[in-house]
Amino acid sequence: MSFLEFLETRSSDMVELGLEHAAVVGLSVLLATIIGVTLGVATYQRARARGMVLAITGAILTIPSFALFILLLGPLGLGWPPTVVALTLYGLMPVVRNTITGLRGVDPAVLEAAKGMGLNRRQRLLRIELPLAWPVIITGVRVTTLVLLGITAIAAIINGPGYGEFIFTGLARVGTPVAVNLVLAGALGVMILAVLFDILFYTVRKLTTSKGIQ
Partner 1 sequence: MTSADSHETRQVMIRLEKLTKHYPGQQRNAVDGLDLDINEGEIVVLVGPSGCGKTTTMKMINRIIEPTSGRIILNGEDVTRTDADQLRRRIGYVIQQTGLFPHMTIGENVATVPKLLGWDKSRTDARVDELLNMVNMDPEIFRHRYPKQLSGGQQQRIGVARALGGDPTVLLMDEPFGAIDPITRDRLQNEFLRVQSEVRKTIVFVTHDIDEAIKMGDRIAIFKEGSQLAQYDTPEQILTAPADDFVAEFIGRGASLKRLNLSYVGDIDPRPWPTVSVSTSIAEARETLRNAAESALIVVDEAGRPHSWVSPEELNRAGEGSSLKEIGQTPRAIVEPRATLSDALNELIAARYAVTLVVDDTGKLQGVVDIEQINDSIRSMRASAVTEARASLGGEP
Partner 2 sequence: MSTQAPHLKTANQETGVAGSRGLSQYLVMPVVLGIALLALYVYVSLQELDSIEERSLNAARLTRAVWEHIQLTAVSTLLTLLIAIPLGILLTRPFTRRIRPYIVTVLTVLQAVPTIAILVLLAVAFLFLGFAAAIVGLVLYAIVPVLLNTMVGLEQVDDAVLEAGRGMGMSRTTVLQKIELPLAIPVMLAGIRTALVINVGTAALVTYINAGGLGDIIVAGLSTNRIVVQIVGAALTAILALLIDYIAGLIEDLLRPRGL
Residues that bind partner 2 (CB under 8 A): 47, 50-51, 54-55, 58-59, 61-68, 70-71, 73-74, 93-94, 97, 100-101, 143, 146-147, 149-151, 153-154, 157, 163-164, 167-168, 170-171, 173-175, 179-180, 182-184, 186-187, 190-191, 194-195
3-state secondary structure of 46: coil
CB half-sphere exposure, 122, CA atoms < 13 A: 0
Q: Name which of partner 1, partner 2, none residue 117 binds, using a CB cut-off of 5 to 8 Å depending on partner kind.
A: partner 1
113 binds, among partner 1, partner 2, none (CB under 5 to 8 A by kind): partner 1
Nearer to partner 1, 70 or 119 (CB): 119
Q: Smallest distance from the beta carbon of 146 to partner 1, in angstroms?
A: 26
Looking at residue 40, its amino acid is G
Q: Which does 150 bind (CB under 5 to 8 A by kind): partner 2, partner 1, none?
A: partner 2
* C-alpha 13, offset from chain centre: 24
Residue 193's contacts (CB-CB under 8 Å, 6 or more residues apart) are 18, 21, 22, 25, 149, 163
167 close to 212: Cβ distance less than 8 angstroms: no
* Residue numbers at the binding site for partner 1 (CB under 8 A): 107, 109-120, 123, 128, 131-132, 209-213
Q: Which of partner 2, partner 1, none is residue 146 near (CB under 5 to 8 Å by kind)?
A: partner 2
Cα separation of 20 and 161, whole Å?
6
| Strands in the chain per DSSP E | none
Could you tell me the smallest distance in angstroms from the CB atom of residue 101 to partner 1? Answer: 17
SS3 assignment, position 96? helix
**Which lies closer to partner 2 via its Cβ, residue 5 or residue 115?**
5
CA gap 7, 1 in Å, rounded: 10
Closest residue by Cα to residue 150 from 203, 197, 212: 197
Q: Smallest distance from the beta carbon of 171 to partner 1, in angstroms?
A: 49
Please give the Cα distance from 155 to 104 (Å, whole number): 35
Nearer to partner 1, 79 or 135 (CB): 135
Task: Find the shortest distance in angstroms from Cβ 133 to partner 1.
Answer: 10
